[in-house]
Amino acid sequence: MPQYPNIPSVTPRPRRAIDPVRLRERMVRELASKGIHDAAVLQALRTVPRHLFVPEALRSQAYEDTALPIGQGQTISQPYTVALMTSMLEVQAGMRVLEIGTGSGYQAAVLDAMRCRVFSIERLPELFENTRRVLQAMGIRSVHLMRGDGTMGMSAAAPFDRIIVTAGGPEVPAPLVAQLDNNGIMLIPVGEKKRTQRLLRIRKDNGRVFQEDLGNAVFVDLVGNHGW
C-alpha cells in the first residue's frame, strides 16, 4: 500500500452569504448616483427582493445594474431601466396600471410596492406559470395576471391610468391607446427594426393623443396582432 506524507487538513472557507438588504441598498445608491431621484421609486426598489425573480444560478448577480436572462429568450431588465421607466410613468398610489410583458414579474412587483393596482399580460405559457408561482410564493396576490396577446390589452379591466410596455414593436398598438384613460400615460418602445427602438411617452388629454420621444431603447420583441 503506498504511503503518503502527512498533509495538513484544510478547512474549506465558507461561502459568503448574500445579504439582499445590503445589496439592495447599494443598488439604490448607485441608481441615485445615475440620476434616479424619485423617492417612491427608490423605496420600491429598496423593498422588492430582485434576487427572487432571477434563476437561482444568477442570484449572486441580482443586484448588479444589468439585465439577466430568465429563460424563453427573455430577460429581466436592468434595475436602472426599471427605475427610469417607472419614474417616467409618473404613477401614484391607487392608479390602475396595465403592464404588457410580465416577464419575470419584477416590474409588476415594483408597481405593486408603490400601491398601484397592477394588471399584467404575458404571452409565453411557461414564463407565465413560473412568474405566477413566484408572485404567489412571495404573497403578492394583488397583481392580476393574464396570459394572452399583450398588444390587444385587457379590455375587460380598462380603462387604465397608466400603461407600460416592456417589449418593443413596430407601432403603437391601437387597442392600448383606446384603453388608456383620459389624462393617462403610456410608455412603449417603438421602432421599424427589431431590438432598435425609441422609447415613447404617450399622453391622452381630452381624447387627444400626444407623443413624446424619450430616446433610444433596446427591448425584447413585442409579439402579437399589433407587434412583430
Residue 9 pLDDT > 60: no
Centroid of chain to Cα 56: 18
In a domain, 76, yes or no: yes
What sign does the CA torsion over 108, 102, 119, 203 have? positive
C-alpha 39/C-alpha 46 separation (Å) is 10
Residue 6 pLDDT > 70: no
| 77 noted as active-site residue | yes
pTM as predicted:
0.89
C-alpha 196/C-alpha 71 separation (Å) is 21
Residue 23, C-alpha cell as written in the block: 445589496
pLDDT tier, 15 (very low <50, low <70, confident <90, very high otherwise)? very low
Provide the CATH number for the domain around residue 102. Answer: 3.40.50.150
| Catalytic hit among 9, 33, 60, 77 | 77
User: How many distinct structural domains can be found in the chain?
Assistant: 1
Give the structural domain span for 191. Answer: 66-217
In a domain, 135, yes or no: yes
Q: Which residue, among 129, 75, 138, 130, has the nearest Cα to 110 in the 3D structure?
A: 138
Residue 41, C-alpha cell as written in the block: 421609486
In a domain, 120, yes or no: yes
Tell me if 119 sits within 8 A of 71, measured CB to CB.
no
